Amino acid sequence: MDSSVVKESPRRIFVTGTAGFIGFHLSKLLLDEGFVVAGYDGMTDYYDVRLKQRRHEELRKSPNFSATEGMLEDQALLDATIDAFAPDVIVHLAAQAGVRYSLENPRAYLDSNVIGTFNVMEAARRNAVQHLLMASTSSVYGANEEMPFTETEKADTQLTIYAATKKANESMAHAYAHLWNLPTTMFRFFTVYGPYGRPDLALYKFVDAMLDGRPIDIYNHGDMYRDFTYVADLVRAIRLLFDAVPERPASRADIVPGDSLSPVAPFRIVNIGNNDKVRLLDFVDAIEESLGIKAIRNYMPMQTGDVPATWADASLLERLTGYRPATDFRDGIANFVAWFRDYSGK
């Protein structure tokens, strides 16, 4: 054996929200690729904790996974956990989720999404990580009407506290990237779905209700469009963005048109979506076809804070990574239905 060949240690990735829907799938992908992953999750009861526990049980099958249970607001625990792990990259996915729940309990979003995110940024700065990647949302586009949504357009008309906290995260992260030269990528998720999905998301609720013979609530009388993004596509995109580390440009002239790279910081915002919009009623039709069941449809008016359509321009993601999500929603629904029947026993 050539003694001059030094085997590189696997990269160490700290992921917040590993018991969550997206954090679980990302961690599984990273472990499959040989990364060492440390998870951090509050295991809150916003939805059934047993599903979160099931996700962590799956991840713990890998010797390269460890997890700490704690809230983002617990700065002492978060700091101690991150400092002990000494990550190369931090991916911050944990948050108080749910657009509609933010109407009922807005303070939870400030505590987790603003204070908690600040604590993560501080830890990333102190540990001088190679790259900080943080989740935002398509909800920051708010009342914008020009579609598809592009990262370089203004996004100043948020319609919910949830969206407002995520826009605040983007602004905070830009300031930290500028002040401390901390390479930061914010990704704006669109409507994510797939196996191990959250019970408060439409696909889970629809399938569960239809199998029980209960009606499903369809808002805005079905006149809604969403950029449905399959979770496996989403986490693949996040993984590829690890290596698209933003650098502070020497001048504004160095920024390629269409790139959201900041002129004054190593900071970038990237849409992760399917680059298409699907009519909600077509989505419901596909669920019916997959289940072999006709839904009892309860048509309702638009909910406060909701928007009629979302649609991502994913060209920047493709330019940075060579990758673009492309799973057809019918295939993604079929995969979810297979998982749900196994998980629920229905």
Q: What is the pLDDT of residue 2?
A: 52
Rg value, the chain, Cα: 20
Respond yes or no: is residue 230 known to be catalytic.
Answer: no
Question: How many degrees, rounded to 5, is the angle at CA 245 between CA 243 and CA 248?
Answer: 165
pLDDT, one tens digit for every residue, the chain (346 residues)? 454 455 678 999 999 999 999 999 999 999 999 999 999 999 988 888 999 999 999 999 999 999 999 999 999 999 999 999 999 999 999 987 766 677 788 888 888 899 999 999 999 999 999 999 999 999 999 999 999 999 999 999 999 899 999 999 999 999 999 999 999 999 999 999 999 999 999 999 999 999 999 999 999 999 999 999 999 999 999 999 999 999 999 999 999 999 999 999 999 999 999 988 999 999 999 999 999 999 999 999 998 878 888 889 999 999 999 999 989 999 999 999 999 999 999 9
Q: What is the pLDDT of residue 98?
A: 67
* Contact criterion met (CB below 8 Å) for 131 and 242: yes
Q: What is the pLDDT of residue 109?
A: 87
Catalytic residue among 40, 109, 141, 162: 162
Q: What is the pLDDT of residue 189?
A: 96
DSSP 11-79: PEEEEE-TTSHHHHHHHHHHHHTT-EEEEEE---TTS-HHHHHHHHHHHTTSTTEEEEE--TT-HHHHH
The closest alpha carbon to 249, from 152, 178, 313, 321, belongs to: 178
Task: Output the CA torsion sign for 336, 341, 344, 346.
Answer: positive
Give the burial class of 182: count Cβ atoms within 10 A of its Cβ; 0-12 exposed, 13-18 middle, 19 or more buried. Answer: buried
The closest alpha carbon to 120, from 40, 19, 239, 240, belongs to: 40
Q: What is the pLDDT of residue 106?
A: 84
Q: What is the pLDDT of residue 307?
A: 86
Q: What is the pLDDT of residue 99?
A: 66
pTM (2 d.p.): 0.95
Distance CA 70, CA 135 (A): 19
- Cα dist from 297 to 16, 98, 210, 219, 320, whole Å: 37, 23, 10, 10, 42
In this structure, what DSSP letter does residue 275 have? S
The total number of residues written for the chain in this structure: 346
Distance CA 292, CA 269 (A): 40
